[in-house]
Amino acid sequence: MSLFLNLVVQTIAWFGFMGVIIFGAAGTLHYAGGWLYLGEMVAFSMIFGAYAMRVDPGLLRERLKPPLQKEQPLADKLVLIPFLLLVFGAIGFMAADAARWRWSMMPPAVQWSGCGLLLAALLFMCWTLRTNSFAAPVVKIQKERGQTVVTTGPYAIVRHPMYLGAILYFASTSLVLGSWWGLATIPILALLLGIRIVIEEATLRSGLEGYHDYARRVRWRMLPYVW
């Protein structure tokens, strides 16, 4: 399968599945927040995918690989599986909260602001990916691609900027979907990301030359002046 076709198929499959979760939990197709979220995500995914295909096809191939891989440490698999289940569950909860149960009464202006924050989070994550061609979706050392330590861009600020972007993404998703209660899931997701960072750091320190010195220079893991 060509790289472009793989991108299209995975985008349709992934967001089709997300659509089933969102509108199934909402109990209706007349849910503006759900369409806003899916529309922005599909458009951005295709635009970034087309861009990555041109400037860094190796990165795109890595990003399109499955979330469970042979080279991946068992500890990462044991964290990633519940993390993904929690993400699906959290998004379903947000949709049910906003459209089915109507616990949250969020003004449309806040939801549109959430779209702006979501775009900012996605752009930040794209900056991270553009800086680090080795930013795979799983923890592993990419020896076949000649992986090296990346120290520029967002990596000069924190050691794991992708996870910082993920926190912003989850928060903005809650706003776009119109769920105040969805924000309560962020600390749980952040905790699992923190556990994954510990696993990833152990792998990088033992298998990637120069990472130990880099970690000494860049003190903060995910959030400057916090952790």
Q: What is the mean pLDDT of each run of 10 residues along the chain (227 residues)?
A: 89 96 98 97 95 94 91 92 95 98 95 97 97 94 94 97 97 98 95 96 95 96 92
Which token pair is 31? Answer: 């849910």
Residue 222 lies in a domain: no
CATH assignment at residue 78:
1.20.120.1630
Residues 6+ apart with CB under 8 A from 21: 88, 91, 92, 95
Angstrom distance (rounded) from CA 147 to CA 84: 26
DSSP states along 98-140: IIII------HHHHHHHHHHHHHHHHHHHHHHHH-TT--SS--
Residue 202 lies in a domain: yes
Residue 226 lies in a domain: no
Domain that holds residue 204: 3-217
Residue 223 lies in a domain: no
pTM confidence score = 0.93
Residue 213 lies in a domain: yes
Burial 7-28 (b: 16+ CB within 10 A, else e): beebbeeebeebbebbbebbee
Residue 196 lies in a domain: yes
State pLDDT tens for residues 69-117.
988 999 999 999 999 999 999 999 999 999 999 999 999 999 999 999 9
Whether 177 and 22 have beta carbons less than 8 Å apart is answered as yes
Q: What is the pLDDT of residue 1?
A: 63
Domain tally for the chain?
A: 1
Which token pair is 219? Answer: 């003190």
Residue 46 lies in a domain: yes
Angstrom distance (rounded) from CA 44 to CA 141: 28
Residue 194 lies in a domain: yes
